[in-house]
């Protein structure tokens, strides 16, 4: 009876999906808490998951006041622990948050993929390997995060709408497979609540937005690595603008966030070519005026941007 009820519920929910689900903009958390969750090293990640270690995140907010938030992770029954949460997971996380911010109750796998790569053609769909990568990432995003906000609440009364403690999946959702939607069988990602990371970033007013179309970079085959690099570079550019930061992106930071620290020389050269393609696209779209590659010795060190 419970399975029958759920099947009816799922059918009812599917009917409420808009026929043309498409996103115009990406809404991304830009606070240190979110950045830390998605940038733990492998050792830190497994230590937090398996040993329950709490991670302290210290931020400087208004008028130089310091706040500290603690979090830990609990894999639960569905998460996979083969690797830490990374930039690819964050790109998918951003798309799902963006869909929720647009008042969608969920998003199809194909629409999610189009937002990942910036594609507007409704016939753009993930390959089998790309679909598997999306599904594995969604499972990782169901990892439960336990956030202790009590120390921050003591110092910042204006954050009163955030509970002292939050226990929730990073991305609260259900994955519905093999659902008939618009005449095709597909996977639906049904949101069950707002992400706690988005909730906190929104209250702190630390959110950036940018057009989905900026992810549509020509001559890229949109592997998880390409998506990581595009996502990281575009978000960093808008972060620099939002916070009036030094307009430089170092390749060391890029390699760290996109899991290329131990990559071969050729792989790093290929990554730099992708960065150049992204920058050329941002230039043609009027987001930046120009960019230059700088060297330290014989090696390329960073990209300096002019707005």
The dihedrals phi and psi of 160, each to the nearest 5 degrees, come to -65, -20
Whole-number pLDDT of residue 150:
85
Q: Which range has the top average pLDDT, 141-155, 182-196, 287-301?
A: 287-301
Q: Residues with Cβ < 8 Å from 152, sequence gap 6 or more? A: 67, 68, 69, 159, 162
Distance of alpha carbon 97 from the chain centroid: 9
Strand stretches in the chain, DSSP E = 25-29, 55-60, 66-74, 106-108, 144-148, 165-169, 173-181, 184-191, 207-211, 248-250, 290-296, 299-306
**Helical pair 128-141 and 109-117, crossing angle rounded to 10 deg:** 100
Helix (H, G, I), strand (E, B) or coil at 178: strand
Distance of alpha carbon 146 from the chain centroid: 19
Whole-number pLDDT of residue 151:
78
Instruction: Locate the domains of the chain by residue range.
Output: 2-209, 217-307
Whole-number pLDDT of residue 55:
95
CB 27, CB 194: distance < 8 Å: no
Angle at 209 between CA 225 and CA 193, to 5 degrees: 85
Whole-number pLDDT of residue 159:
80
Q: What would the mean pLDDT of 104-121 be, rounded to a whole number?
A: 89
Q: What pTM was computed for the model?
A: 0.90
Whole-number pLDDT of residue 207:
96
The fraction of the chain above a pLDDT of 90, given in percent, is 64
Residue 211 predicted with pLDDT over 90: yes
Of 36, 280, 65, 257, which Cα lies nearest the Cα of 152? 65
Residue with the larger pLDDT of the pair 300 and 154: 300
CB 16, CB 61: distance < 8 Å: no
CB 76, CB 49: distance < 8 Å: no
Residue range 50-68, pLDDT digits in tens: 888 999 999 887 777 788 8
107 confidence band (pLDDT: 50, 70, 90): very high
Q: What would the mean pLDDT of 250-269 be, rounded to a whole number?
A: 94
Q: Give the fold, CATH level 3, of 217-307.
A: Ribosomal Protein S8; Chain: A, domain 1 (3.30.1370)
The dihedrals phi and psi of 127, each to the nearest 5 degrees, come to -70, 170
The conformational region for residue 133 under phi > 0 = left, psi -120 to 50 = alpha, else beta, is alpha
Residue with the larger pLDDT of the pair 66 and 88: 88
9 confidence band (pLDDT: 50, 70, 90): very low
Residue range 13-46, pLDDT digits in tens: 554 454 446 789 999 999 999 999 999 998 999 8
Q: 55 forms bridges with which residues in the sheet?
A: 71
Residue 171 predicted with pLDDT over 70: yes
Is residue 297 classed exposed, middle or buried when 0-12, 13-18 and 19+ CB atoms within 10 A define those classes?
A: exposed
């Amino acid at each position: 009876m419970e399975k029958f009820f759920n099947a009816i519920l799922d059918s009812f929910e599917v009917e409420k999906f808009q026929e043309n689900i498409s996103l115009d903009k990406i809404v991304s958390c830009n606070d240190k808490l979110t950045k830390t969750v998605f940038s733990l090293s492998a050792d830190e990640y497994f230590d937090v998951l398996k040993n329950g270690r709490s991670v302290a995140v210290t931020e400087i907010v208004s008028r130089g006041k310091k706040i500290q938030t603690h979090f830990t992770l609990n894999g639960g029954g569905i998460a996979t622990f083969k690797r830490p949460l990374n930039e690819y997971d964050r790109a998918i996380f951003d798309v799902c948050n963006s869909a929720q911010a647009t008042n969608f109750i969920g998003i199809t796998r194909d629409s999610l993929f189009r937002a990942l790569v910036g594609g507007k053609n409704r016939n753009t769909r993930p390959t089998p390997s790309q679909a598997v990568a999306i599904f594995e990432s969604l499972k990782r995003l169901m990892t439960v995060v336990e956030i202790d906000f009590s120390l921050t609440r003591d110092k910042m009364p204006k954050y009163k709408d955030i509970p002292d403690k939050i226990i929730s999946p990073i991305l609260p959702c259900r994955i519905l497979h093999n659902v008939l939607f618009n005449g095709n069988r597909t996977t639906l990602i049904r949101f069950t609540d707002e992400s706690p990371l988005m909730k906190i970033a929104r209250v702190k007013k630390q959110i950036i937005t940018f057009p989905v179309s900026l992810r549509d970079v020509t001559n890229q085959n949109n592997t998880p690595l390409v998506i990581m690099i595009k996502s990281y570079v575009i978000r960093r550019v808008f972060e620099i603008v939002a916070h009036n930061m030094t307009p430089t992106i170092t390749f060391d930071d890029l390699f760290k966030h996109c899991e290329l620290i131990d990559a071969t020389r050729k792989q790093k050269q290929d990554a730099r070519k992708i960065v150049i393609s992204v920058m050329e696209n941002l230039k043609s779209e009027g987001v930046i005026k120009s960019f230059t590659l700088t060297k330290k010795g014989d090696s390329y060190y960073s990209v300096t941007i002019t707005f």
